[in-house]
Each structure stands twice: as structure tokens, then as C-alpha cells.
A and B are shown apart, each in its own frame.
Chain A
Amino acid sequence: MSSRIFTRFVSVLLLGWTFGNTAMAAETAPNFSLPTQAGTLALADLKGKVVYLDFWASWCPPCRKSFPWMNEMERRYSRQGLAVVAVNLDKDQELADKFLNEVPAEFNVAFDPQGTVADSYHVPGMPSSFIIDRHGKIQAIHIGFREEDSTDLEASLRSALSR
């Protein structure tokens, strides 16, 4: 009798372990402190702002498309309290610098070569972006970047900014 209960318990554990995923929606965004092109930036500094947190790398082709759009968002909504933070995950700083020379960024670019912040956010794919509301909660996670998605993304940003 107790061995049946035991096997049932182990089965539930195994099922959960095999198929359970670590999604981050509606959780508090983990804090981080990373070097940027202009000093250190911590997520806690941006409390009260809507943060568009993007994880990118030089070898990720959709990231090239996402930068002009992120520049546009920064221009349009920074006055309303939007902060765009793009975390670079290149292991080689030179590649990141080369990318930034070709595709300039008007927003905060942070560097996380070890991938510790990406790990804490359980980044599901490259690129991924997290919309963090003014209270520090993750409102939306978006994997990849396609031009067609930009209107929906902007709409999510506007709704987060309006709260």
C-alpha cells in the first residue's frame, strides 16, 4: 500500500520535472546590476518606469531588425516613462561593439557576457523581450522579433505606460 503511494508520488515529481517549465509572466522581475556604455545600471534604479528589457546578441539576425524599432520606441515614449534596456549576451565584447557601430542604439545597452541575468530571467529564446511595468512585475514576454509584431508590442507598451 505505501509502496503504491510512493510510486505515485515519484511519478508526479517526475512528470512535473520533465514537463514543468519556468515561465516568468506576472512574476516580479529579478533585479540586476550590469555595466553599460555609461556606467552601471540596476533595474531597481528604474522603479516607476516601464522597462522594455531586451536580450540580444550580435549573432542573432532578428536583433538587427529590432534595434531601429527600439530606437523609435525610446524616442516616442521615454518622456512618458519608458526605459529601453538591451542586454547584450555576446561572449566576445568586440562582436558587440562591431554590431553597435553598424546599428547604433539610442537606448541603454548593458553587457552580460556570462549570461547570469539571462539565466535569472529564464530567457526562452534569442531575442527575447520582457515588458516590466511600473511596479516591477513582468507584464509580457515576447520571443523573437518580426516587423509584423511591432504594432502589438507597441500596443502592450502603451497599455503598460498608461497604468
Chain B
Amino acid sequence: MRTLAMIIACSALLLSGCADVKPWDRDLLAQKKMQLVPAPVDNALDEHVYFSKEAASGGQGVGGGGCGCN
């Protein structure tokens, strides 16, 4: 029973819809327009405003100028 569960788990990992991207094929992903946050500094400033004025924080990536509010 446990081996069956393990077979199912491994198959789930193997048959998952993840594309195998080789490290050297990531050139498109490295482009500026492909970043999740298009303007990191602007985003950081906006985040600071949301935190200060609305007491809303989090849900954003820290990358690109986190001002250490949290």
C-alpha cells in the first residue's frame, strides 16, 4: 500500500506539467520585460505608501528596493 502511494507520488512529480528548461535557455526569462515587477523602484515606493497610508503590507516580492518596512 505504501509502495503504491510512493509510486503515485513519484509519478506525480515526473508527469507534472513542468517544462524542463535548461539553464542556458533562460535568455528570454532574463530580459527586463519578463520580470514580474516591471519597475522595481516605483514598486518599492508604492509599497511604502500602501504601508504608511493604508496599513497594508505584504503580498509583494521583496526584490528591487525593499525599504525594510517589514
Within the complex, which residue of B4, B7, B24 is in contact with A126, where a contact is CB–CB below 8 Å? B24
Flag the segment in A7-15, A28-36, A69-77, A97-105 that touches B.
A7-15
A96 to B17, CA, bound (A): 32
Contacts of B30 in A (CB 8 A): 59-60
Please tell me if the beta carbons of B24 and A14 are within 8 angstroms of each other in the complex: no
Please tell me if the beta carbons of A118 and B24 are within 8 angstroms of each other in the complex: yes
Please tell me if the beta carbons of A18 and B24 are within 8 angstroms of each other in the complex: no
Please tell me if the beta carbons of A57 and B7 are within 8 angstroms of each other in the complex: no
Which chain B residues numbered 18 to 69 have a C-beta less than 8 Å away from chain A?
Answer: 22-27, 30-31
Q: Mark B1-23, 1 if CB is under 8 A from A, else 0.
A: 00110110011011000000011
Q: A interface, how many residues as a size bin? A: 20 to 34
Q: Mark A119-143, 1 if CB is under 8 A from B, else 0.
A: 1000111101000000000000000
With A55-B24, A59-B30, A59-B31 known as contacts, the answer to whether A7 contacts B10 (CB < 8 A) is no
| In the complex, A90 has a CB within 8 A of chain B | yes
With A7-B7, A59-B30 known as contacts, the answer to whether A119 contacts B14 (CB < 8 A) is no
Within the complex, which residue of B11, B22, B27, B31 is in contact with A119, where a contact is CB–CB below 8 Å? B22
Contacts of A125 in B (CB 8 A): 23
A52 to B67, CA, bound (A): 40
- Listed by A's residue number, 14 A-B pairs whose Cβ atoms lie within 8 Å are A7-B3, A7-B4, A7-B7, A10-B7, A11-B6, A11-B7, A11-B10, A14-B7, A14-B11, A17-B14, A57-B24, A89-B24, A115-B24, A126-B26
Binding site for B on A (CB under 8 A): 7-8, 10-11, 14-15, 17-18, 55, 57, 59-60, 89-91, 115, 118-119, 123-126, 128
Binding site for A on B (CB under 8 A): 3-4, 6-7, 10-11, 13-14, 22-27, 30-31
Interchain residue pairs A-B with the least CB separation, the first 6: A89-B24, A14-B10, A59-B30, A18-B10, A126-B23, A59-B27
